[in-house]
Structure 1
C-alpha cells in the first residue's frame, strides 16, 4: 500500500456574495475530486489546536502527525532547516518578508500601510539582489551595537533573519494586517524596528524597484520581521510512522519540516509556490518516488490557493483549486491506477484562507480520504466545506488524522 497527501494550502474559505453564497472551493470545477468524493470518506478536521495561531506551520505539522502543542517552537526555525542554517540553542530566528508598503511622500514610516505581503510574489532572483544590498547596509551598524545578526535568502519574498542569543518577540504576520497602518504592529525591540525603517530608506529608490514599478510590479520596499522561534526537536517521520516519506513543495516552511523530520525533499523544476507553478511536475515526482524509488508516502504541497486568498482574488483562487484538481489529483490518480499499486490518498487544506479577510482562520477544514481498494463506500456528491460539515464526522485533534490514513 502507498500513501499520498495532497495539500491545497488555504484551499477552504467562507461563502461569498459574489459567488452566490458559495465558497471558492464550491465554485470551482473539480470533477476529479468530486468523483473521488462519491467513493471516499468525507469529514471535517481541525488542524489548528485551540489557542494557537492559525498558520501553515502549526497546521502542516498537524497534517504530518506532529501535535503542535508538543513540537511547535515558531515558524522561522522550520524554514531555517530548509535553508541549511545551523541554529544554536540560544539563537532566535525570524521570518523576513520583503513587503510592499505605501509610498506617500512626507509621512513617517509608522504611518505607512502594508499593501502586499509578497511584493507581487517577487522572484527569488530579484529578492536575492535586494537582500544582498540590505545586508551590506544594515549589518555593519548592527554589529557596532554588540549584536550578531545575519540574513539568509529563502524563496521569493520569504527570507530568514537570525539573531544570535536573541529574544523571542510576539510579532504580527504581514498578511494579517494588509491595508492597515503599521505603527502599532512594529516590534517592541527598537533595534529591529530601526532595521525595518532603514530598509525602507534603502529599498524605496533602489534601481531594481524603479525597474519593477516601470514594469507594473509592486516594489519590495521594506523588510518585515515575524514568526520568531528557537530550534525545534522533531522525531524522525519514518521512526514515528514506519513509513518512508518524501516532501514535494516549493515553500521553505514545508521543506524545513521535511529536513527536521528526516523526510526526503524532492526538487521540482519550475515549482515556485505561486499560481503559475509546475503542478504536473509535482504530481509526476510524487508518483516516481512511490513507484520507482521505493517510498511509502508522498506529501504534495500546493501553495497557490493560500497566496490567492491573501491577495483577496477569488477568481485566481478558483483557478488555483481547479489546477490542483486537474493537474495534480488527476495525474496522481491516473498514474497510480495504471500501476496497479494499491494506495490511499488524503486531500485537504491545512487551514482556510478566506477571500474576505485575506488571512488564515482556525475553522475546521474538509478532508477527503480515498482508498483505491474500496470502491463501494457511500461518500458524498462532491468535495467541499458543505459536504464536510454534513458528514457528521469532525476530528478535533487534527494530528491524529494521518494515523487514520495509515490504517489499511
Structure 2
C-alpha cells in the first residue's frame, strides 16, 4: 500500500468578480481533484491554532497529526531545521528578513537618506529582486560587525535569513514585515521582553547596510536598496514524535519551501533536495509529481507540497485559473496515473488559502480516497469550497486526517 498527501498551498479563496462570482477552484477545470471529491470523502478540515493568523505551516503540522498549538514553534525554527542550522535547547531563532524602507521624499529620493528607524520612515516590505550572492554579501557584512558568541546570522533564501540568539528571549512581540507594509515604522518595531536587543540589532544593521556596495549597485541598476534586517517569526526548536514510527512507514517530503521542509524533517521524514524538485519560481508542478512517484518507488509515504505563486489571489484571474488547472493536471493527475501502476494506494488532498485570518471563515478543504480511481466517472460534486462546505457533517479535525489516511491500509 502506498500513501500520499498532496498539499495545495494557496488554492482556496473567496469568490472573484471577474470569474462571475466563482472561486478559482470553482472556475477551473479540475477533473482529477473532482474525481477524488466524487469517489471519496470530502469536507472541511478544521485546524486547531492560536493567534490571529492561520498559516499553511500550521495546516501542514495539523494534517501530519500534530497539534499546532503545542508543537508549531513558529517559522524560524523550522527554517533552521531545513537549513541544517544547529539550535540549542535554550536558543531562540528569529527570521531575519532584508527589508526596504521608505521616507517622505518623492520618487527615488524616498529610499535615500534614511538615517534611523523612526518617524517619518515607513515599512515598504521585504526586498525585491534580491540575488543570492547579494544577500550573502550583506549578511556577511552584518555577521562581521554584529556576530558574537550569543548572536549569529545564517543565510537562507531570497530575502529571508536567520538569526540565532543563544540563550535568548522569546516573548518579544514582533511583526511580520508584510503586515507592516505602508505603516509608520514606530508602530511595527519589536516590543516587550527582549525588544531592546532586537531594536539595537536592527538599528545597527541599518548603519551597516545602507551604504554597502551591494546597495550602491542596486541603486545604479534602478532597484530599491535594502535598508536593514527585520527580526520576527521567532521560536525555540521543538522535538516531535516521529510520524514515520507512529505509522510504521518510510516517508519523504517533496517541497522547496524551508518551513515545509523543516516540518517534514521534524516529523522524521526525509526531505528531498529542492534542486531535485522544481524551477526557482515555484512553477514546475510536473517535476513535483514525478519526484513524488520516484520516491514512492522506494518508500511507503510521500507528502507533496506545492505553493502557489505570490500574488495569485490578487492577480490576473484567468492566469490564476490556469495555475490551478496545472496543479490538477501536473501534480494530482501525474500522481493518480503513476499510483495506479504501483498498486493499492490512498491519497489525501488538502488545499488551503495560504496565510489567512484565523477566524473560522477560511478553513482548508480536503478529499480522501482509496485508489485506483475511475477518472472518467462523472459525479455530482467537485473539489471546491462550496461543495466541501455543503457536505453534511463534513467538518473534520485536521489533526485526525493522517490517522484516517492510514486506517485502512
TM-score clears 0.5: yes
Q: Mark the runs of 5 or more structure 1 residues left unpaired by the alignment.
A: none
Deviation at 1:43, TM superposition (A): 0.7
1:150 to 130, 149, 152: 152
Q: Distance in 1 between matches of 2:159 and 2:267?
A: 25
Q: 1:260 to 1:126 in 2, by over 3 A?
A: same
Deviation at 1:21, TM superposition (A): 2.3
Q: 1:63 to 1:220 in 2, by over 3 A?
A: farther
Instruction: Give the total of aligned pairs.
Output: 392
* Contact 1:268-1:278 at 8 Å conserved across structures: no
Q: Distance in 2 between matches of 1:252 and 1:244?
A: 21
* Contact 2:52-2:359 at 8 Å conserved across structures: no
Q: Distance in 1 between matches of 2:144 and 2:228?
A: 15
Q: Distance in 2 between matches of 1:279 and 1:213?
A: 35
2:227 corresponds to: 221
Question: What's the CA shift string for 1:151-178, capped at 9, x where partnerless?
Answer: 1112222221100110012222223333
* Contact 2:249-2:300 at 8 Å conserved across structures: yes
2:174 corresponds to: 171
1:57 corresponds to: 57
* Alignment of 1:250 onto 2:268: no
Q: 1:206 to 1:61 in 2, by over 3 A?
A: same
* Alignment of 1:324 onto 2:323: no
* Contact 1:47-1:351 at 8 Å conserved across structures: no
Q: 1:263 to 1:173 in 2, by over 3 A?
A: same
Correspondences of 1:234-249 after superposition (within 5 Å): 234-249=240-255
- Secondary structure in 1 matching 2:96: strand
TM-score relative to the length of structure 2:
0.85
Q: Mark the runs of 5 or more structure 2 residues left unpaired by the alignment.
A: 104-109
1:366 corresponds to: 365
Q: 1:270 to 1:208 in 2, by over 3 A?
A: farther
Correspondences of 1:276-287 after superposition (within 5 Å): 276-287=282-293
Q: Distance in 2 between matches of 1:278 and 1:346?
A: 21
- Secondary structure in 2 matching 1:171: coil
Q: 1:102 to 1:272 in 2, by over 3 A?
A: farther
Q: 1:278 to 1:309 in 2, by over 3 A?
A: closer
- Secondary structure in 1 matching 2:54: coil
Larger Rg: 2
1:344 corresponds to: 346
* Alignment of 1:184 onto 2:176: no
* Contact 1:30-1:322 at 8 Å conserved across structures: yes
2:125 to 116, 120, 143: 116
Q: Distance in 2 between matches of 1:309 and 1:204?
A: 32
| Root mean square deviation of aligned Cα | 2.9
1:382 corresponds to: 382
Deviation at 1:379, TM superposition (A): 5.5
Deviates more, 1:36-45 or 1:162-171: 36-45
TM-score relative to the length of structure 1:
0.85
- Secondary structure in 2 matching 1:26: helix
Q: Distance in 2 between matches of 1:394 and 1:216?
A: 52
* Contact 2:352-2:363 at 8 Å conserved across structures: no
Q: 1:217 to 1:374 in 2, by over 3 A?
A: same
